[in-house]
Amino acid sequence: MLKKYLKRLLLGSALGLGGLLVLSQPAFAEETVSLEMFTINNTWMLVSAFLVFIMHLGFATLEAGLTRSKNTVNILFKNVMILSIGLLTYALVGFNLMYPGEGSWILGQWFGFAGFGIGTDAAGLTSAYNPGYTYWTDFIFQGMFAATCATIVSGAVAERIKLHSFLVFSTIYVALIYPWLGSWKWGGGWLDGLGFYDFAGSTLVHSVGGWAALACIIILGPRFGKYSQGQSRAIPGHSMPLATIGVFLLWLGWFGFNGGSVLSADPGLVSYVFVTTALAAAAGVVGSMFASEFMLKKPDLSMVLNGSLAGLVGITAGADVVSIPSAIIIGLVAGALVVASVIFIDSKLKIDDPVGATSVHLVCGIWGTLAVGIFSPDHSFLTQLLGVVAYGAVSFVSAFVIFSIVKAVMGVRVTEREEIRGLDIDEHGMEAYAGFQIFSTEG
């Protein structure tokens, strides 16, 4: 039996060679970590990967809960697909676009690509970015991230987008745009060189997703009946328990999203990031509660749910570099901001975003990125602003162009009849609650 264990260890070492060999390469010789430390780091990164995985269930339930039951199958379907497409395309091209490695850059660190497919022999040996874990761990952690970006769009375009048009757009965006833009900072591209800071993706993930969401819903237009005679009509979601489950799962996943972005199990940093993340989320809840009582005159559950996400998005850029009081302030502001933003976008701009994705991910993503320049003494506000603008311009324009092409080629919006009946029947031929019976009702 022991032989089996040793054989596995050996095989494991061979498979993990990408990571382990790095340790013995000249460049790293003086800072080798022990096999034990390598194993702990790697284990924590895998735990973080499965936590980020959970966020996809969080998005699926949150979006389903905040929309109507006649479109629930459609939303669930999109979320299952996007995760899967995201992982597969990240293996095919995304990973090597995002982490091209030293030799593969062109256009002065604006673009790089290390070739198709993944494998430890590939040119894109990203373990070179740090000695903390294997190539495979790197891929799976980053792959789980990639899919979250496209999922942000899914909620905003809900209840009126054609299924196949959404899938085509998302595939292109997650396969090409997200990783290309990610390379600018995390891949070691031009913005990294300028000192722009985004710890875990307030901008690289959330704003990049949020800008795409904004571009798409501008093109799509509002849901049928949403605005009439200059008035916005509230269209409540069909299940607050589902939405609440979603938010708790997203918060949970964020411990891996931010905690894993330390890129090692470093005890001080990971635990500090846990604390700033949790306190910012809690402060986001409290901030949005007060804002909701003040602006809406009631303690609105959906606002408070979005408030916790706002706090989380807000702290994501600087979770490792701001103080505890700053983390709480960032969360409080994000929580208030998201309430104001949801009201403003809905009532003033008259842009229809069923789940508030642009307010949560785009607005608070910008806030969090700028907050690094405000609260961290080591980072420049102007550089942060430059990053926000650069990412905003390119991601919005890219999404707008791609979605416009999709619109021209195959159309993006279901018919009015389909929209009224619900996408579940016409796009999927099934209902979310077909066998649902309530026998007795109880006062």
Which of 24, 229, 231, 441 forms a contact with a copy of itself (CB under 8 A)?
Answer: 441
Find out whether 345 and 299 touch, Cβ atoms under 8 Å: no
Query: Measured from the CB atom, is 248 or 375 closer to a copy of itself?
Result: 248
Under the binding rule (CB under 8 A), the answer on residue 352 touching a copy of itself is no
Instruction: Specify the residue, 318 or 392, whose C-beta has the smaller distance to a copy of itself.
Output: 318
* Residue 439, SS3 per DSSP: coil
Does 20 sit near a copy of itself (CB under 8 A)? yes
Report the residue from 308, 316, 384, 398 that binds a copy of itself according to the rule CB under 8 A. 308
CB-wise, 85 or 342, nearer to a copy of itself? 85
Query: Does 51 help bind a copy of itself (rule: CB under 8 A)?
Result: yes
Reduced to 3 states (helix: H, G, I; strand: E, B; else coil), residue 232 is strand
- Rank residues 394 and 431 by Cβ distance to a copy of itself and give the closer one: 431
Is residue 377 near a copy of itself by the rule CB under 8 A? no
Q: Give 90 or 211: the residue with its C-beta nearer to a copy of itself.
A: 90
Nearer to a copy of itself, 79 or 398 (CB): 79
Q: Find the binder of a copy of itself among 123, 275, 397, 409 (CB under 8 A).
A: 275
**Residue the block writes with tokens 């279901």:** 414
Q: Which residue has the tokens 């324009």?
A: 397
Phi-psi region of 24 (alpha: psi -120 to 50; beta: other; left: phi over 0): alpha
390 binds a copy of itself (CB under 8 A): no
54: contact with a copy of itself by CB under 8 A = yes
Determine contact, residues 18/120, Cβ cutoff 8 Å: yes
Helix, strand or coil, per DSSP, at residue 45: helix
Decide: is 149 part of the binding site for a copy of itself (CB under 8 A): no
Is residue 35 a contact residue for a copy of itself (CB under 8 A)? yes
Q: Is 2 a binder of a copy of itself (CB under 8 A)? A: yes
Q: What is the CA radius of gyration of the chain?
A: 22
C-alpha closest to that of 166 among 399, 398, 432, 418: 399
CB 88 within 8 A of CB 63: no
Contacts with a copy of itself in 398-417 (CB under 8 A)?
A: none
Residues in region 109-128 near a copy of itself by CB under 8 A: 117-119, 128
Please give the Cα distance from 429 to 273 (Å, whole number).
45
Cα dihedral across residues 272, 277, 283, 285: positive or negative: negative
Exposed e or buried b per residue across 317-335, where buried means at least 16 C-beta atoms within 10 angstroms of its C-beta: bbbbbbeeebbbbbbbbbb
Q: Which stretch binds a copy of itself (CB under 8 A): 104-112, 174-182, 294-302, 395-403?
A: 294-302
Can you tell me the distance from the alpha carbon of 200 to that of 369, in angstroms, rounded to the nearest whole number? 10
Q: For residue 16, state whether it binds a copy of itself (rule: CB under 8 A).
A: yes
- Stretch 68-97: interaction string toward a copy of itself, x if CB under 8 A: xxx-xx--xx-xxx-xxx-xx--x------
Give which of 234, 236, 245 is closest to 305, Cα–Cα: 245
Shortest CB 104 distance to a copy of itself, Å = 14
Residue 19 C-beta: closest distance to a copy of itself, Å: 6
- Identified binder of a copy of itself from the candidate list 105, 113, 136, 173, rule CB under 8 A: 136
CB of 273 to a copy of itself, least distance (A): 9
Which x/- pattern over 315-334 shows residues binding a copy of itself (rule: CB under 8 A)? -----x---xx--x------
Residues of this chain, 201-260, that bind a copy of itself according to CB under 8 A: 225, 235-242, 244-245, 247-249, 251-252, 255, 259
23, 32, 39, 375: which one binds a copy of itself (CB under 8 A): 39
Residue 285 binds a copy of itself, judged by CB under 8 A: yes
Instruction: Give min distance, CB of 426 to a copy of itself, in A.
Output: 10
Q: What's the one-letter identity of residue 147?
A: A
Length of the chain: 443
**Residue 14 or residue 349: which is nearer to a copy of itself going by CB?**
14
**What single-letter amino acid sits at 27?**
A
Contacting range for a copy of itself; rule: CB under 8 A; set: 207-215, 301-309, 388-396, 404-412: 301-309
Site membership for a copy of itself, residue 100 (CB under 8 A): no
123-128 contacts, C-beta under 8 A, 24 or more apart:
123/96, 124/95, 124/96, 124/99, 124/100, 125/18, 125/22, 125/101, 126/95, 126/99, 126/101, 127/18, 127/19, 127/22, 128/22, 128/101, 128/102
The DSSP H or E segment spanning 111 is strand 111-112
